[in-house]
Structure 1
Amino acid sequence: MRAEMESSVEPRAGNELLTDYESVRALTMRSLFDMLDRSSEGTVVVDRDARIVWMNQHYAARFGFSDPQDAIGRDCEEVIPNSLLREVVTSGEPILLDIMETERDPLVVTRLPISDLRGNVIGAVGFALFDELKALTPLFSHYSRLQAELIATRQSLAQAQARRAKYNFSSFVGNSPASLEVKRLARRAAPLDAPVLLLGETGTGKELLAHAIHGASGRADKPLVTVNVAAIPDTLLEVEFFGAAAGAYTGADRKGRVGKFELAHGGTLFLDEIGDLQLPLQGKLLRALQEKEFEPLGSNRVVHADVRIIAATSMDLPAMVAQGRFRADLYYRLNVLTIPVPALRERLSDIETLSYSVLDKLCAQHHTGHLELDEAALRLLKAHGWPGNVRELHNTLERTVMFSDGPRIDARALARFLGEGRASTAASTPAGAVATASAVSATAPAGGSMSYDEAMRTFERQLLLDALDAAQGQVSAAARALGIGRATLYRKLAALQIPTQPAA
């Protein structure tokens, strides 16, 4: 093969050769081949059928052939068990760097296709670059170290991003005097380092405010770590707070566990539903807050943690202190900057703004068009008691959006999802529906034990019957009067088993 390369280059003066592209190309090919053949641990050439047509002495000896001629004409896999030269011939694509296992040490190999003057693949050549991977150890070590550092950095960034504030003060929607006072107090508390105690019913937005306070504080670039005391069994809370040494208890992680105090170092620790914390752990929490240090479970290691505490509860902590269910010293330690968070029924003027804020997010989430609340629906929302506060409002609107048939949400569509339905709806119900509501009341059992779902089903059935009666049985006219689509009305009639007149 080398002789063929040499014969293609006629003897000329050196400078003249370097001005001839074909001569330079042929010389480069010969020089490259000679260099790889001399410096590599072996060279083999196969034809288009992946049969060996040439093999150097060193490579032949490695695979048990004293004379390379004995390997000529054999399939490459027969001579070199893990060879991929056939794949190179078939695909026409090189395999520039690969590790090939052999009975002895593994080899670092490169495989290149051979083409004729028309570009057709007629074979392939393989070079064994190293017979020991030790030569690449420094490169592999450097690569592995960089890869490990990259993975660790990505994980660290992901953790940091997950523990950043997700909400700001504008996320607490509302311009009522009660809402403005909450945001004023929270903004004043944010730059301080003292503990904050958020008091309010469940679903009022205490966690949202905790995020906003952390995000506006000097610790904003540090972690915000949340512990929901009510959601974790008492037996696991100590480990959740302070971590555990390896093997500290049965089933413990062999590497140990880092507690939330240590994770929040330099940042903020949000203790949600702090009123559910049991007395034995209250003392340990108090010491950690006062001394800013603790020992993980089963460890003698003292961990220092500089954290700011934001606590929240829906319970009456002073009453719990009086009953001996909450330590007075811990209460006074937490009760430095207190922010009462009002219930939704205490800021009814925020209902409209808050509802549209929720609706916009829901419509984007469910890929629906913009939805409007009609006046009756807004009156119904404001008349409801909202025992579940903003969380209940979000749930009610989400269910309404999912079952909405048009661009407007009316009181009828909304009423079926309004909690227990204890709010007065007389002011928000259209005049034509008042008689229907009275008829429903007349059908209730004497003890008033009809469930909300039963009452709503009865109300809707009577409403549809009245609409059909007023439209003389014409479904289209009844649908127009009710402000819903004809197909929607047909579905409701079928669900309520209300017969319709056949079309004439």
Structure 2
Amino acid sequence: MTDKVTPIGTAYRHPSGAASVEEALNAFSLFREYFQGAIGVDAEARITWIDARYRKLLKLPDDFDPNGLPVEELIPHSLMRQVVETGRPMLLDIMDFDDRQFVVCRFPIRDDDGALQGAAGFVFYDNVDHLQPILKKFETLKTQLNRARAALRRERQTKYSLANFIGASEVVKDLKAQVRRFALRDGPALILGETGTGKELLAHAIHQSSDRAEGPFVAVNMAAVPESLLESEFFGTAPGAFTGAEKKARKGKFELAHGGTLFLDEIGDMPLALQAKFLRVLQEGEIEPLGSNSIKKIDVRVISATSQDLDERLQNKTFRADLYYRLAVLTVNVPPLRDRLDDMPVLAERLLEAVPRMVDMPAWEIAADAIAVLQDHDWPGNVRELGNVLERAAAMARNEHLDADLIARVMPKRGRAAPVLPGSGLADAVAGAEKRAIVEALAAANGQKSAAAESLGVSRSQFYEKLKRYDLG
């Protein structure tokens, strides 16, 4: 065969149309003095040929025949299989072998019809001492990249499982059984419940128990994102999409959640203008980044949550009915704390485990009569409010023992909901109690609405909505 130069970075094509890998390698004999060994594999990444110099580098016994073996059995860190699977060359790479490192080149081999016949690999250097500064920098960058990837995976993974939802009451057992069933489905889920009941925790649990558990979990609070940024936040932006935009494309939350779950907290706060675009994503499974004309397919399960009354929003036409029915394929109703007071002892103990203690201080203890005080409260802020009360009590405690008197001193200045007066409806009584609680919270916070909302255990958006509802602005 006549030697001919093949352009580096292209697949070798044999003129006969039925090239063997060995014949292809022979075509590179002109460069023999520049490489230290060569190997060839077929289209299944099985070794078909290896020259004597490569055998010597690998310290193979003279009677050992590697032909027919998967290349990874001989060279564990080889990427020849990736070359034959993708058909793309790897022009320069540093490959580890035992305690040594080789500088290698790999490229695919095709026939005249373009059919992939296999791949060839060359070792250019077997002694890389003079490359140590570059190799050290390479290893440092690789370590930093691995750490960054690990941190990103941790950020995109779930933080809670169903075991983190504490309770053994019948209502909690039924809730957990429903969540396990829904986790096996892949449709959108809507989690309804008052603030502080653990809606986000259940969203994490559904993802972790589903087939998407290995994929990312991306959470967004609709009330926390400025309305002007919502579209770019979810759909991403093309390079230079608007004044001040980055010069490179920016992925949105849908694309970041591809293959996993997108959790939308406080879905009731989604602006009406954005709802139509969300509906299209759910229907078509595709997004269009801001400033781009290209469509991207996405595979995302959407889990939504809200503490608002979506039925009321549907009636007021501030939430689209078609979007609601898309989101509410699987609906989970989270019970408020006042409906599962039997869980109070175990909840209090578990929440106290997270409260800091002095060095060498025993674990927190809460008395039975203190639990009774906790059970006599209506808990509009639910488990989140309970956690705040226990942390406040621990801060005031002289020792690890929390008694009824201490708990009573740190309880919010309200008890159960006001009794229903003759001639008044239940809704009026509840509204009256809620209005009084808001007025008291504003007075205690000197009119600071954010502080008042936090003391009541509700989001700012919910608090402002209630101010408007009760004409307390």
Please say whether Structure 1 and Structure 2 have the same fold, judged by a TM-score greater than 0.5: yes
* Residue type at the aligned position of 1:183: K
Q: Secondary structure at the match of 2:407?
A: helix
3-state secondary structure, aligned to 1:290: helix
- Cα distance in 2 for partners of 1:172, 1:336 equals 23
SS state of the match for residue 269, structure 1? strand
Q: Specify whether residues 367 and 313 from structure 1 end up closer, same or farther in structure 2 by C-alpha distance, changes over 3 A only.
A: farther
1:230 equivalent in alignment to 2:260: no
1:297 lines up with 2:290 in the alignment: yes
- Alignment partner of 1:419: what SS? coil
Partner amino acid, structure 2, of 1:171: N
Q: What residue identity is the alignment partner of 1:249?
A: F
- 1:280 matches 2:273: yes
**Alpha-carbon contact 1:196-1:339 (below 8 Å) kept:** yes
2:414 aligns with 421
How far, CA to CA, are the matches of 1:366 and 1:206 in structure 2? 34
Distance 1:191 1:224, change over 3 A: same
Instruction: Please list the CA deviations of residues 303-324 of structure 1 after superposition, one character each: whole Å capped at 9, or x if unmatched.
Output: 2211111100011112211211
- Displacement of 1:188 after TM fit? 0.5
Q: Following TM superposition, by how much is the alpha carbon of 1:371 offset from its aligned partner in structure 2, in angstroms?
A: 2.0
Q: Is the contact made by 1:245 and 1:297 (CA closer than 8 Å) also made in structure 2? A: yes
Residue from 321, 327, 344 that aligns with 1:334: 327
Aligned position for 1:158: 151
Indicate yes or no: 2:340 matched with 1:347.
yes
Which of 142, 161, 179 is the aligned partner of 1:186? Answer: 179
Answer whether contact 1:229 1:277 (CA < 8 A) is retained: yes
**8 Å contact from structure 2 (residues 197, 382) kept in 1:** yes
Q: Is the 8 A contact 1:363 1:370 kept in 2?
A: no
What is the aligned-residue RMSD (CA, Å)?
Answer: 2.6
Asked if the contact 2:361–2:400 (Cα under 8 Å) also holds between the matched residues in 1, the reply is no
Structure-2 separation of matches of 1:190 and 1:137: 55
Give 1:70's aligned residue.
none
Contact 2:337–2:379, Cα closer than 8 Å, also in 1: yes
Pairwise CA distance, 1:383: 0.2
Give 1:142 deviation, angstroms.
4.6
Q: Deviations over 1:223-280 (max 9, x none)?
A: 1000100111111111111111222223322333211111111000000000100111
2:169 to 170, 173, 176: 176
CA shift digits 1:468-497 (9 cap, x unpaired): xxxxxxxxxxxxxxxxxxxxxxxxxxxxxx
Distance of aligned partners of 1:344 and 1:219 in 2 relative to their CA distance in 1, 3 Å threshold: same
Is the contact between residue 363 and residue 369 of structure 1 (CA under 8 Å) also seen in structure 2?
no
Percent identical pairs in the alignment equals 48
Is the contact made by 1:228 and 1:271 (CA closer than 8 Å) also made in structure 2? Answer: yes
TM-score relative to the length of structure 2 = 0.59
Unaligned runs of 5+ in 1: 1-134, 425-449, 456-504
Shift of 1:144: 4.0
Structure with higher RCO (Cα < 8 A, 6+ apart) = 2
> Taking structure 1 as reference, are residues 254 and 369 closer, same or farther at Cα in structure 2, changes over 3 Å only?
farther
Residues 13-92 of structure 1 mapped to structure 2, 5 A cutoff: none
Report the alpha carbon displacement of residue 290 of structure 1 after superposing the two structures with TM. Answer: 1.5
TM-score computed with the length of structure 1 as normaliser: 0.55
Distance change in 2, residues 1:374/1:136 (3 Å): closer
Between the aligned partners of 2:344 and 2:359, the Cα distance in structure 1 is: 22
Residue matched to 1:200: 193
- Report how far residue 218 of structure 1 moved: 0.9
Aligned residue identity for 2:328: N
Q: Is the 8 A contact 1:374 1:411 kept in 2?
A: yes
Deviation, structure 1 residue 160 = 0.5
Cα distance per residue 1:307-342 (max 9 Å; x no partner)? 111100011112211211111111010111100001
The letter for the 2-side match of 1:204 is: T
Q: Secondary structure at the match of 1:167?
A: coil
Give the aligned residue type for 1:419: P
Secondary structure of the 1:416 match is helix
1:242 is aligned to 2:235: yes
Q: CA deviation at 1:146?
A: 4.1
Which residues of structure 2 form unaligned runs of 5+?
Answer: 1-127, 418-438, 445-473
**2: CA distance between counterparts of 1:233 and 1:216?**
32
CA distance, structure 2, for counterparts of residue 401 and residue 228 of structure 1: 30
Instruction: Specify the SS of the correspondent of 1:362.
Output: coil
- Whole-angstrom distance in 1 between the partners of 2:359 and 2:307: 32
Larger Rg: 1
SS at match of 2:354: helix
- Judged with a 3 Å threshold, the aligned counterparts in structure 2 of structure 1 residues 232 and 266 are, in CA distance, closer, same or farther, namely same
User: 2:188·2:301 contact (CA, 8 Å) conserved in 1?
Assistant: yes
SS at match of 2:355: helix
